[in-house]
Each structure stands twice: as structure tokens, then as C-alpha cells.
Amino acid sequence: MKPPLRIALAGLGTVGGGVVQALANPELSERAGRKLEIAAVSARDRSRDRGFDISKFAWSDDATALLKSEADVIVELIGGEDGIALDVVEGALKAGKHVVTGNKALLAKHGARLAALAEEKGVALKWEAAVAGGIPIVKALRESLIAYGVDSVHGILNGTCNYILTQMEATGRSFHDVLKEAQALGYAEADPELDVGGGDTAHKLVLLASLAFGTVPNQTHISVEGIKEITPEDIQFAREFGYRIKLLGIARRTAKGIDQRVRPAMVKTGTPLAHVDTVFNAVLAKAGAAGRYFFEGRGAGREPTTQSVVSDLVDIARGNLGAGFGWPAASLKPLQPSDPGAAMSAYYLRFEVLDVPGVLAEIARHLSESQVSIESMIQRGRSPGEPVSIVMITHETSQASVERALKVIAGSDKVRARPCMIPMEAA
């Protein structure tokens, strides 16, 4: 049997604690063909009750002290795109130690450079836990979907948003009501902006795009819109049309570059992404001639995330190191962005208008002038002089055309509030 793999954990929160407990199972060492041994741990508070005994591990309250330990691998579970997390990851790689991390923000910002450093030092940079919790999508894109390339990835990558949208649909309640409840239940952070604003999904999408297309992770060329503007009315209309609203991260090759976007989308009932509910995550990948792949699982939480960290550790123990982004670092290409306005889609449009004569004609005219043609329309309720909703589904058109029309329509004195536009996803 090979010598033990010595592991140092930087961060002993939910996932760090999960890893300590999971590694106590001797089956993992049996599968790995060598003992998986925790050599040292680091966290801010040594005295906190974590439900397990940490006295047997070498301890430091300074994570960078782990760099001087005898560990073969550092598991970084601190978080943050810079600061101490970066010091630990970069320092570990420089010291010739393998790194396992769940830190999507750090990887989205520094991933390519860190992967090059790992490669130079002959060590692994593994990060299955950074995207889609327990789903082994990083492994799938790195090691499995490789013969025919990947044309697109569509992901439901944020459990908080998916929980909120699922609850809004089930109860008919508003975004703010459901968010408050999610916060009380611990499904949403006290400061929810990173989740509901789409930023967390964006970090994850940028990493998936890099794996899928062999490009340097790129956070510049991505359009991001969260779920804060979605109303129960939109969800209800979606259902009437046979769709459900999901926050998607989408990365796809187009003839003119790669399109990266995070936004709410209408997903057709009966297609795989439409049925991903509550805190589940999912990724749909189109892999050229090999067709569509779909992966679903828990997107967060102690055990799913721990499982991803543990599988990375066992990979390292077995000698399955691989390149951080699936390709030699020197082969990663800069991402050539497509023009976001050129993206083609059908759209759901909702206008809040005053119920006065001529309003529908005015909207239709502006749409027509921007070459946006209407497939179907619903005007619900009549209350003369009061605001009512007009909902339309367009034929396929460019995003720029719709945006141009909506800008003009928003200026009308008959239109209240900003019109809502949600693409219909054919995935």
C-alpha cells in the first residue's frame, strides 16, 4: 500500500466538518488504495463545538500556517475571491502541495493562473465542490464529455434562487415574502444579493464555460440578471403557456464567439430543466454528435458538497491529477465573446398598461417597427383607466430588437413600470 495522503483543512465550517467526519470512514481509504489522513486543520475558533473531536489534529488559527505543514494536499474552504483564501491556495501550489477547493469566486478570478501554477509544480488543482454542489459536473466535463466537444451548457446553479422560484410558484407569494421565509429557514443569506442578483450563478457559469470550451475563465463578458423582478403574475402566465421560470446560467458557442449569460428564462414543461425543483441544481450539456446530457443533484449543503470534496481527495490519492481546467494551461484560449444583442430567442413580454383605447395598438406598432413579431397575446381583466397586464409571446427575434422596442414602449404615457422580458429557452 502507498504511504498515506496527508490532508490539511483550511476552514472547519459546515463542509470542513463534513469532510472530517466522512474521512473517518475507512472505506474511503480502501477505495483510494492508501490511507486518507488529516494532518492539520485551521479555523478561527478552536473551542466551538463542532460535534466531533478536533484535539487529535494539529491546529492553527492561521490558515497560512498549513503551508508549512507536512500535508500533501490543502483543502481550502475559507471562501472569498482574494485575501487569505488566495494566499493559501497559491502558497500551497507554490509549495508543491495539491489543492482542493470549493471557492468559485477565487477560481473565476484567478483560475487560469492557478491551474498553470499547479501544472508547473506537477500537482492537482481540483474543485468539484465549486459548481453545482454534489453533482460531478466538473469531472464529467473534464474527463467524460471530451470526444466531440461541448456546444452549450445550461445550468440551474443556485439553490437559493431555485427554492424561491419553486415556492413562489407553489404559493403564489411575492419574491420578497418568499425571500424572507428562505432567510428564516437558512436557505438564503442575510445579505442575499450574491444569490438573487445572479452573481453566484455567474461565478459557476464562468467555470463551466471554461471547462466546456477550453477557454480562460472570463468574468468580463457575461450579462447577469437575477430573479428580483420576477412576479407571481409572470410565474402564473408561464404556467398557462406550459412553461416554468428558472434562473439559468447559459454558455454557448455561436458562429461569432461565446455567449455567456445569467438570466431568468421560460423553460418548457416536460423538458429536463423545467422539473428541477427546490434546492436541486442541474446542468444540461449539449455534446456535439454525442447529444444531450443532463445531470441533477443537490446543489448545496453539507453532505453533497462534502461528497465532491472527498471525491477530489480520493482522485488525488489514486493519482488522478489531471489539468485544473481539463486542458494543459498553455492551451486555454482567451474567450472570444459574441455580441449579446445578437442572441436569437422567442420572448415572453409583459406590459403593465393603463386600460385606455389604443394602448395595444401602440405597443404592437413599436414592436413591429423593431421587426418583433407576435405569436400570441393575452390581455386579462378590464378595468377602464386602471393598470392591467398585457402579455405577449414573440416569434424568434434578436435580443437587441426586443430591447430597442421595449425602450420606446417604456416611454409611452400609457405604460406603467418597466416592461418585463423573459426569453423562452428551447434547451
Judge whether 246 counts as a catalytic residue.
no
d(CA 301, CA 175) in angstroms, rounded, equals 23
Which H or E element spans position 30?
A: helix 26-32
Closest C-alpha to 70, from 96, 32, 101 = 96
Cell numbers linked to 65? 500556517
Using the minimum distance from each CB to a second copy, give the nearer residue, 317 or 406: 317
What is the identity of the amino acid at 369? E
Check 204, 268, 286, 414 and give the catalytic one.
204
Q: Minimum CB separation from a second copy for residue 127, in Å?
A: 14
Using the minimum distance from each CB to a second copy, give the nearer residue, 307 or 394: 307
Using the minimum distance from each CB to a second copy, give the nearer residue, 24 or 356: 24
Q: Minimum CB separation from a second copy for residue 166, in Å?
A: 12
Are the beta carbons of 69 and 40 closer than 8 angstroms? yes
Q: Minimum CB separation from a second copy for residue 397, in Å?
A: 29
Using the minimum distance from each CB to a second copy, give the nearer residue, 101 or 311: 311
Q: Minimum CB separation from a second copy for residue 66, in Å?
A: 22
Using the minimum distance from each CB to a second copy, give the nearer residue, 285 or 359: 285
d(CA 273, CA 245) in angstroms, rounded, equals 10
Q: Minimum CB separation from a second copy for residue 124, in Å?
A: 11
Kind of pairing, strands 98-101 and 344-354? unpaired
Which residues form the interface with a second copy (CB under 8 A)?
22, 25, 27-28, 30-31, 33, 128, 134-136, 139-140, 143-149, 270-272, 275, 280, 282, 287-298, 301-304, 306-308, 310-311, 314-315, 318-323, 326-328, 331
d(CA 246, CA 270) in angstroms, rounded, equals 14
Cell numbers linked to 115? 491551474
Mark out the alpha helices in 199-245 (DSSP H runs).
199-213, 232-241
Cell numbers linked to 254? 455561436
Q: Which are the catalytic amino acids?
A: 204
